Structure 1
Amino acid sequence: MVKIGDIEVGEFPLLLAPMEDVSDPPFRALCKQHGADVMYTEFISSEGLIRDAAKSVQKLDIFEYERPVGIQIFGNEISSMREAAAITEEANPDIIDINYGCPVKNVACKGAGAGILQDIPKMVSMTSEIVKAVNKPVTVKTRLGWDENTKYIVEVAERLQDVGIKAISIHGRTRKQMYKGEADWSLISAVKNNPRMHIPVFGNGDVDSPEKALHMRNTYDVDGIMIGRASIGYPWVFNEIKHFFETGEKLPSPTIAERVEAARQHFEMALKWKGEQLGIKETRRHYTNYFKGIKDFKPYRMTLVTSDDVSEIRDTLDKIPLTFKDEMILI
């Protein structure tokens, strides 16, 4: 049984990656329903939490049904991160996660996210201060290094463990790679097989099918897999992987009716949680994947991703199962 601190997370847990504007409560609910073992929130700005910014504070919302759940924070100032961790702990997550992996320019180039990979001593100091500031288990999400010449992840993971983190998730690319090229899991495996490591090591990057998940599990000896982009609009990926692990067989793809039901549930929860305007806007990115591969679907997709009318979106979702049959799915 894999444990993050004292929290049991399964024999080989599948974790939902923290993704900005994606892994919010409506989406996390669907992923939990379809087999994800551990949830992580969108990343939350430490400065935003300290200033009590509405957008940051709203991201602290977590719900009992999604436990175990980790809230992820990011920032470039040690004092701010320590204070933000204390604020985060008051929201009562199971885990507090530190984002040392986000590669986007306006985060990394300010020394936060993957930017801190250019200053490993600061990374270790910040982690140590956060661990000391809270009682919840602290985990880290990071990358192999800043660039091809700074892949120090084996040493970095050991140092972070030494200051008290309870698990580490590693994306198998450098910051410079962003999301290009193939993820290199060999270095993730090197972290796991370091004889000094005793905390769980989770691999992340390019797992987009049950076959790929099985290959990563069997080849690289990780304790679990974190799934990000493959889950967007496709929460079924978690149960599909678990079923393949257990039986060696692939589950049938979700039917059109199941796709509509997931999209509808996501949309209605988004309206309830974020209000009409944001709920409509922030569900749009998921529709393409919910209905991927359906022949002649473009007019329906265009309505879903452009309409600002709740009734029109609901009516469109209602029409889809009446118009399309499962054999029209091309994948």
Structure 2
Amino acid sequence: MVHIRDLALPDFPLLLAPMEDVSDPPFRAVCKANGADLMYTEFISSEGLIRDAAKSRKKLDVFDYERPIGIQLFGSDVETMGECARISTLAGPDLIDINYGCPVKQVACRGAGAALLRDIPKMVQMTSAVVKATHLPVTVKTRLGWDENTLNVEEVAERLQDIGIEALTVHGRTRVQMYKGDADWRLIAKIKENPRIKIPIFGNGDIDSPEKAVEYKNRYGVDGVMIGRASIGYPWIFREIKHFVATGEKLAPPTVEERVAMCRMHFEKSIEWKGERSGILEMRRHYAQYFRGLEGAKQWRMRLVDTYSVEEIYAILAEISAAEPVLVG
């Protein structure tokens, strides 16, 4: 088993990446149903939480069926991050995670997320403040460095472990790369091979198939993998990887009936958590992925995004299931 303090995860756990405007409770519910072992909230702005912003507060919602679940925080001010760790602890997660990896301009240019890779002393100070502010395990997600000239993640791993983090996830790209090019896991492997490193090391970046998950497990020796974009509209990625790891065999892709059932579950959770109107609107971004590759998928999606009626959405989903469209791509 893999342990984050007293939190016991299975061998080679599969983590759901925190994704802004994606990994909310409804999305997490379908990923958990398909085998995600550890999940995180969308990242939460420390400044927004201190201001008591409604959107930031809403992201603190965690549910027992999601466990184990971590709340992820980002920010640029050391004292504020410590205070937010205290606030987040009261929400009852299983751990607190710090985002030192987000590359988007709105975050990094405000001195948060991946920007801290250019100021390791401040990163250490901020991490220490969070560790001291909570009784929960603290973990970190980061990148290889700011750019190719500052690949400092090995130093980051050692220094953050020394001040108390209990697991580290590394995305195999720099901030400058954003999400372009191939993720490079070689430095992740070097961290794992470092005899000083005792905490679990999880790899992230480009895991989009069972074969790649097993290949990277064997090649780079990571304790587990974090999956992000490949799970959007395809939560079955978790069960498929688990089956392949256990048996060496690939599962058949989900049937049309399974796709519809999972989409319906996601929709129901969305309505339940966000209310009818917001749940309908925010679910629209997921339909294309759930029915990707099915014959007639475009017409189904257009009808689903064109209605504000819960009953009509259920009726359209029933039509898709009854039609049993074939997989064409």
Provide the TM-score with structure 2 as the length reference.
Answer: 0.98
Distance in 2 (CA, whole Å) between partners of 1:10 and 1:322 is: 38
Are 1:316 and 2:316 counterparts? yes
Amino acid at match of 1:330: V
CA drift at 1:296: 2.1
| 1:131 positional shift | 0.4
Equivalent residues in 2 for 1:227-246, closer than 5 Å: 227-246=227-246
Structure 1 stretches of 4+ with a deviation exceeding 6 A read none
Partner of 1:92: 92
Distance in 2 separating the partners of 1:302 and 1:274:
22
Partner in structure 2 of residue 60 of structure 1: 60
For the pair 1:329 / 2:327, whether they are aligned, the reply is yes
Shift of 1:61: 0.7
Match of 1:3 in 2: 3
Structure 1 residue 309, shift from structure 2 partner: 2.6
Supply the distance in 2 between the matched residues of 1:157 and 1:285 (Cα, whole angstroms): 36
**Post-superposition shift, 1:99?**
0.6
For 2:283 and 2:3, the matched residues in 1 are separated by: 33
Equivalent residue number for residue 188 of structure 1:
188
Within the alignment, does 1:17 sit opposite 2:48 as a pair? Answer: no
Instruction: Give how far 1:5 is off.
Output: 1.3
Aligned-pair identity in percent equals 64
Report the alpha carbon displacement of residue 310 of structure 1 after superposing the two structures with TM. 2.1
Amino acid at match of 1:261: A
* Secondary structure in 2 matching 1:174: coil
* 1:107 lines up with 2:107 in the alignment: yes
Report the equivalent of 2:199.
199
Contact 2:48–2:56, Cα closer than 8 Å, also in 1: yes
Matched AA of 1:313: I
Q: CA deviation at 1:316?
A: 1.1
What CA distance in whole angstroms lies between the structure 2 residues aligned with 1:200 and 1:84?
25
- The answer as to whether partners of 2:288 and 2:297 remain within 8 angstroms in 1 is no
Post-superposition shift, 1:286?
A: 1.4
1:210 is matched with which residue?
A: 210
* 1:206-240 Cα distance to aligned partner (Å, 9 max, x none): 00000000001000000000000000011110010
Partner of 2:276: 276
Q: Which amino acid aligns with 1:178?
A: M
> Would you say how many aligned residue pairs link Structure 1 and Structure 2?
329
Gaps of 5+ in 1: none
Q: In the TM superposition, what is the alpha-carbon distance from 1:305 to its structure 2 partner?
A: 2.7
Partner deviation per Cα, 1:172-207 (whole Å, 9 max, x = no partner) = 000110100000000111111111100000000000
**Pair 1:78 & 2:78 matched:** yes
Unaligned runs of 5+ in 2: none
In structure 2, the residue matched to 1:301 is 301
Per-residue Cα deviation, 1:89-126 (whole angstroms, up to 9, x for no partner) = 00110010001111111001111111111111101110
Contact 2:288-2:298 within 8 A present in 1 as well: no
Q: For residues 277 and 119 of structure 1, what CA distance do their matches in structure 2 show?
A: 43
What's the TM-score, normalizing by structure 1? 0.98
1:47-95: CA deviation from partner (whole Å, max 9, x where unpaired): 1111211111111111111111100011100111000000000011001
Structure 1 vs Structure 2 CA RMSD: 0.9
Q: Distance in 2 between matches of 1:282 and 1:21?
A: 9
